[in-house]
């Protein structure tokens, strides 16, 4: 067998592609479900925390900073294992899907809070003062004047960060969430061939390249902190 057909036989074996496509597709559905849940809840929680922080109530802000720092400093896999193996022993049984969603949503919320907060801080004080002096209340100023400008600035870093954290759905394989990587490794050890792993990798590329490219486009569109 020459090199090329050997390569095809190991990584792109046609009959294996056909046999394992349904499994990989099932994995894609699970990955997309977890990813969507993480993005929606993580970004929403991050925004709420950044808004709460803008009230500048000291104990509350301190709590938010501690939360954001901890979830930015800890590896997500540590949190996943801690939650998955720890909680059942204190009587809380969560399905692995929920553990993965919960951990990644909190991690995303921590990063998003920091980015949204940096965006809010970047709005000059004069914007606040001008809005308040027209008779807008604190919340109205925040909602109609500050946030629209602040969020615009945060679009590129938020996109990149969200992609980076959503990719961590692959960690679910360690606790048995049936996402792409899980399906692919199971099929690879069953078939004794690397084709399913290659299919899994390609599935990830197809899912994420559009968002990575979008992040690149946004970065050039609204340049953020140009030094």
Partner 1 sequence: MDALIQQFFNLAIMERALPLVLTGLKQTVLLCLLVIPLGLAGGLAVALLSLSHRRAVRWIAVVGIDFFRAVPPLVLLIFVYSGLPFAGFRPSPVTAVAIAFFLNTSSYYGEIYRAGIESVGAGQWDAARSTGLRGWQTLAYVVLPQAVRNVLPDLVSNTVEVVKLTSIASVVALPELLYSADMARSVTFNSSPIVLAALIYLAMLWPVVRLVSRLERRIAT
The reply on whether position 32 binds partner 1 by CB under 8 A is: no
Q: 44 vs 207, which CB is nearer to partner 1?
A: 207
Report CA 115 to chain centroid distance, whole Å.
14
The reply on whether position 200 binds partner 1 by CB under 8 A is: yes
- What distance in Å separates the CA atoms of residue 119 and residue 38, rounded to the nearest whole number? 22
Minimum gap (Å) between residue 147 Cβ and partner 1: 17
The reply on whether position 170 binds partner 1 by CB under 8 A is: yes
The reply on whether position 163 binds partner 1 by CB under 8 A is: yes
The reply on whether position 168 binds partner 1 by CB under 8 A is: yes
The tokens 């004069």 sit on which residue?
126
Among 17, 45, 185, 218, binds partner 1 (CB under 8 A): 185
For every residue of 153-210, DSSP letters joined together read HHHHHHHHHHHHHHGGGGGGGGGT--SHHHHHHHHHHHHTSSHHHHHHHHHHHHHHHH
Tokens read off for 22: 């349904």
Minimum gap (Å) between residue 140 Cβ and partner 1: 25
**Which string of b and e fits 126-165 if b means at least 16 CB within 10 Å?**
eebeebeeeebeeeebbeebbbeebbebbbbbbbbbbbeb
* Start-to-end CA span in the chain (Å): 56
Residue numbers 54-83 binding partner 1 by CB under 8 A? 69-70, 72-79, 81-82
The reply on whether position 201 binds partner 1 by CB under 8 A is: yes
> How open is the CA angle 73-77-81, to the nearest 5 degrees?
120
Minimum gap (Å) between residue 207 Cβ and partner 1: 8
The reply on whether position 85 binds partner 1 by CB under 8 A is: yes
The reply on whether position 174 binds partner 1 by CB under 8 A is: yes
- What distance in Å separates the CA atoms of residue 210 and residue 119, rounded to the nearest whole number? 25
Which residues in this chain contact partner 1 in the complex, by CB under 8 A? Answer: 6-7, 10-11, 69-70, 72-79, 81-82, 85-86, 89-91, 114, 118, 121-122, 163-164, 167-171, 173-174, 180-181, 184-185, 188-189, 192-194, 197-198, 200-201, 204-205, 207-209, 211-213, 216, 219, 225-227
């Amino acid at each position: 067998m020459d090199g090329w057909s050997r390569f095809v036989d190991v990584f792109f074996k046609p009959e294996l592609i056909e046999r394992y496509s349904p499994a990989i597709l099932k994995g894609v559905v699970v990955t997309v479900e977890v990813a969507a849940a993480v993005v929606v809840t993580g970004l929403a929680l991050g925004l709420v925390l950044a808004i709460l922080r803008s009230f500048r109530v000291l104990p509350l802000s301190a709590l938010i900073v501690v939360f954001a720092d901890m979830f930015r400093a800890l590896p997500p896999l540590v949190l996943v294992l801690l939650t998955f193996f720890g909680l059942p022993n204190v009587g809380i049984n969560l399905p692995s899907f929920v553990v993965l969603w919960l951990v990644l949503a909190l991690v995303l919320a921590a990063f998003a809070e920091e980015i949204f907060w940096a965006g809010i801080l970047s709005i000059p004080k004069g914007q606040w003062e001008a809005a308040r002096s027209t008779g807008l209340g604190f919340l109205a100023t925040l909602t109609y004047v500050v946030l629209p400008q602040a969020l615009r600035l945060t679009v590129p870093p938020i996109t990149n960060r969200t992609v980076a954290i959503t990719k961590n759905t692959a960690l679910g394989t360690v606790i048995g969430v049936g996402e792409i990587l899980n399906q692919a490794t199971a099929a690879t050890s069953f078939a004794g061939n690397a084709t399913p792993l290659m299919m899994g990798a390609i599935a990830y590329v197809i899912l994420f390249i559009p968002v990575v490219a979008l992040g690149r486009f946004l970065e050039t569109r609204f340049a953020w902190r140009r030094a």
